[in-house]
Amino acid sequence: MIQEVDETRTTVRRPDAVVVGGGHAGVEAARALALMGQSCLLVSLRRDALGRMSCNPSIGGLAKGQLVRELDALGGLMGMIADRSALQFRLLNASKGPAVRSPRCQSDNVDYNARVVAELENTPGLEILEDEVVELIAEDGRIVGVDCARVGRIETRVVVLTTGTFLGGRLHVGDAVEIGGRVDEPAAHRLSASLLRHGFRLGRLKTGTPPRLHRDSIDFARMELQEGDASPTTFSYLPQPIIDRQIPCHITRTGPRTHAIIAANLERSAMYSGSISGRGPRYCPSIEDKIHRFAGRDSHQVFIEPESRSTPIYYPNGISTSLPAEVQEAFVRSIPGLEEVEILRHGYAVEYDYVDPTELDSRLMTRRLAGLFHAGQLNGTTGYEEAAAQGFMAGANAALWLRGEEPLVLGRHEAYIGVLIDDLVTRGVQEPYRMFTSLAEHRLLLRHDNADLRLAAAARRLGIAGPERLERSGTKRELLDRGRRLVAGRQRDGRTLDRLLRRQDARLDDHRDLLPELYEAPWDVEIRTLLETEVRYQGYVERQHELVAKMRKAETMAIPAELDYARVPQLRAEAREKLSAIRPRTIGQAARISGISQPDLSLVMIAIRRLEAGGSGETGRG
């Protein structure tokens, strides 16, 4: 529920947890805490902006779609809201192998935002306060409260920071700079100073957004039509209403004239004028970056995407920019179909503070202050999906910590969420982190179609997903097991169907006459497709599981918390410094820290054995 507060600066309440920031990370964290029985106060600069899509109005995409499905399997919010507010569904890489297929939807950003606000308003145990957190209050190495600009001190046992691009945010259009976390919204600067006073390592990163265009001024006839899928692949494992009419997107391209305009004005971009110090995302570069880095290319794709059914605003995906307004108008109107376009809002870059994520443990709790959790762009990531996944995990682990229970830490073989968090806390970031299928070494196991099966035990433990999701997951598993027995027991031309289906060109539908029961309720297309995939790739999946089992022997070798790396002779200074700072829980996690070598790991393993034998952990000299 939304709580109005008095303007007087005083301690107004003592919730179990305070979540700072109402973006995609914040709403998932606050909702998870409340649904796990903790009283939670969500503090946001603007309560009407909760869950707002400040950039691309889409959810999912390559590897990101897997994150959203995993989030939904655990009981998160994003998948449900995305399905209900969708404008168009597409399964990316549908013609490629199952490990790299990913669902994506174009969402109505007005409807999405409204649905998030309504969901949070009706979440028991959750209150929303419109204010700015300016100070973290700690005693004896533990968080005990926050100080707000309007209402003053709020005492609490847990704080989850999800500040997005608002922490020290500055907006850039050419040489014009203004303070803000996004257009027409203020930034939070005093909290950065508080983090520094507590000893946290801060850096600067950058992201950006393209200009927004008026629908009625776009010549769609000059562009390639991109329709949605006839059979939508949705995100939520709960049944959702499917939209009756999908809105098409369109594709156009930049050309030599566009590139010439940008190249002639490159030094006027905030990215190249020196006014921005933070690094931007390598895999989602501005149009200036594309022209500069790929000078040999004469064109780049631009996706023209609707933002809402209720507004005429279109989003030109692929031309994020911080060039001056007049330059933006010139190069945008050089693109086919946009010659007469009306620009409703110019693109801009936003530079913001982040905290080195290696300051966190695998729960996303900071090592400096017990009870303080970080999630989202504060940890150096980019993207709604990465933020939401972190927010959910931070909120869930904060609730478990308050209960005195073991944390939920997902392995790299269990979920993309596990890959994401492990990468952040062991490797840190040098640029905004974006999830890709290539980052997951076990991606054949982490498909979008089996997230509910992979995470059923974790979902059951947290208790957020609800009985319907868990029941549907259990039914799905039973049907798959029955289906495997059926295809293994039926033959055609002397060969069992499970062997026939391992050929790439074989389809389950080609053998419908032998398996009529698979085409009756409760079977459906989704389960038949999953069965076909699992049978076809059974050998590969089994080898992946064998590899995981071998790796986990080293992966799970625990490193005692009391191990003093300073007392491990012959350990290189760089290794000693990084291991002492990050404090990995296992040898496997230590192995993924940038700069840690195999000889370093061998010395650490010897020290562990000496500790377990009752020694000091010193390995001896010579």
> Based on the domain organization, do 41 and 133 belong to the same domain?
yes
Q: Give 277's pLDDT tier (boundaries 50, 70, 90).
A: low
pLDDT tens-digit map of 395-405? 999 999 999 99
The backbone region for 19, taken as left when phi is positive above 0, alpha when psi lies in -120 to 50, beta otherwise, is beta
**CA distances (Å), 127 to each of 17, 30, 39, 140, 159, in order?**
11, 9, 8, 28, 14
Report whether pLDDT(391) > 70.
yes
Report whether pLDDT(544) > 90.
no
pLDDT tens-digit map of 87-132? 999 999 999 999 999 999 999 999 999 999 999 999 999 999 999 9
Q: Are 66 and 45 in contact (CB under 8 A)?
A: no
User: Parallel, antiparallel, or unpaired for β 249-253 and 224-226?
Assistant: antiparallel
Amino acid at 94: A
Question: Cα dihedral sign for 392, 355, 49, 86?
Answer: negative
- Percent of the chain predicted with pLDDT > 90: 72
DSSP string, 298-349: S--EEEEEE--SSS-EEEEET----S-HHHHHHHHTTSTT-TTPPEEE--EE
The mean pLDDT of 246-266, rounded to a whole number, is 95
Among the ranges given (196-210, 313-327, 537-551), the one the predictor scored with the smallest mean pLDDT: 537-551
Report whether pLDDT(10) > 70.
no
Facing residues of 91 across strands? 103
pLDDT tens-digit map of 359-376? 999 999 999 999 999 999
Q: Which of 182, 176, 146, 150 is nearest to 164 (CA)?
A: 182
The mean pLDDT of 50-54, rounded to a whole number, is 93
> Based on the domain organization, do 589 and 443 belong to the same domain?
no
Write down which residue in 545, 568, 596 finishes a domain. Answer: 545
User: Side-chain half-sphere of 32: how many Cα atoms within 13 Å?
Assistant: 33
| Cis peptide bond N-terminal to 584, omega within 30 | no
Tell me how far apart the terminal alpha carbons of the chain are, to the nearest angstrom: 66
pLDDT tens-digit map of 176-208? 888 888 777 788 889 999 999 999 999 999 988
> Based on the domain organization, do 360 and 288 belong to the same domain?
no
Specify if 189 maps to a domain. Answer: yes
**What radius of gyration, in Å, describes the C-alpha atoms of the chain?**
26
C-alpha of 212 from chain center: 24
> Based on the domain organization, do 200 and 230 belong to the same domain?
no
Provide the residue count of the chain.
Answer: 622
What average pLDDT is seen over the chain? 91
Q: How far apart are CA 351 and CA 541, in angstroms?
A: 43
Among the ranges given (259-263, 382-386, 538-542), the one the predictor scored with the smallest mean pLDDT: 538-542
The mean pLDDT of 528-554, rounded to a whole number, is 86
Q: How far apart are CA 311 and CA 247, in angstroms?
A: 13
The mean pLDDT of 414-437, rounded to a whole number, is 93
> Based on the domain organization, do 425 and 515 belong to the same domain?
no
pLDDT of residue 620: 40
Q: Strand, helix or coil at 173?
A: strand
Q: Please give the residue range of the domain that contains residue 80.
A: 12-167+178-204+355-461
Q: Give 4's pLDDT tier (boundaries 50, 70, 90).
A: very low
Write down which residue in 294, 328, 351 finishes a domain. Answer: 351
Q: How far apart are CA 444 and CA 66, in angstroms?
A: 12
Report whether pLDDT(7) > 50.
no
pLDDT tens-digit map of 334-346? 999 999 999 999 9
- Percent of the chain predicted with pLDDT > 70: 94
Q: How far apart are CA 304 and CA 233, in angstroms?
A: 21
Among the ranges given (123-132, 228-237, 413-422, 543-552), the one the predictor scored with the smallest mean pLDDT: 543-552
Among the ranges given (210-219, 450-459, 521-530), the one the predictor scored with the smallest mean pLDDT: 521-530
348-355: strand order across its sheet: 176-179, 170-173, 348-355, 202-209
The mean pLDDT of 562-587, rounded to a whole number, is 89
Q: How far apart are CA 498 and CA 500, in angstroms?
A: 6
pLDDT of residue 3: 41
The mean pLDDT of 203-215, rounded to a whole number, is 94
pLDDT of residue 184: 77
Indicate which CATH number applies to the domain containing 294.
2.40.30.260
pLDDT of residue 1: 39
Specify if 5 maps to a domain. Answer: no
Specify if 621 maps to a domain. Answer: no
> Based on the domain organization, do 110 and 231 belong to the same domain?
no
pLDDT tens-digit map of 162-180? 999 889 998 989 888 888 8
CA torsion 282→286→291→292, rounded to 10°? -60
pLDDT tens-digit map of 581-620? 889 988 888 888 877 877 788 889 889 988 888 765 554 4
Specify if 515 maps to a domain. Answer: yes
Among the ranges given (184-188, 302-306, 311-315, 540-544), the one the predictor scored with the smallest mean pLDDT: 184-188
The mean pLDDT of 527-541, rounded to a whole number, is 93
Write down which residue in 545, 577, 592 finishes a domain. Answer: 545
Q: Give 289's pLDDT tier (boundaries 50, 70, 90).
A: confident
pLDDT of residue 374: 98
> Based on the domain organization, do 255 and 390 belong to the same domain?
no
pLDDT of residue 619: 45
Q: Are 207 and 350 in contact (CB under 8 A)?
A: yes
C-alpha of 22 from chain center: 15
Specify if 468 maps to a domain. Answer: no
The mean pLDDT of 381-392, rounded to a whole number, is 97
> Based on the domain organization, do 198 and 216 belong to the same domain?
no
pLDDT of residue 324: 94
Residues 6+ apart with CB under 8 A from 305: 56, 57, 58, 106, 249, 314, 315, 316, 317
Indicate which CATH number applies to the domain containing 605.
1.10.150.570
Question: Cα dihedral sign for 417, 180, 283, 104?
Answer: positive
pLDDT of residue 622: 31
| Tally of domains in the chain | 4
Question: Residue written as tokens 């590139």?
Answer: 259
Q: Give 293's pLDDT tier (boundaries 50, 70, 90).
A: confident
pLDDT of residue 282: 66
User: Side-chain half-sphere of 523: how many Cα atoms within 13 Å?
Assistant: 18
Facing residues of 170 across strands? 179, 351
> Based on the domain organization, do 223 and 191 belong to the same domain?
no
pLDDT of residue 427: 87
Report whether pLDDT(284) > 90.
no
pLDDT of residue 616: 55
> Based on the domain organization, do 119 and 236 belong to the same domain?
no
> Based on the domain organization, do 299 and 445 belong to the same domain?
no
pLDDT of residue 597: 76
pLDDT of residue 614: 74
Facing residues of 107 across strands? 86
> Based on the domain organization, do 407 and 456 belong to the same domain?
yes
Specify if 618 maps to a domain. Answer: no
Indicate which CATH number applies to the domain containing 124.
3.50.50.60
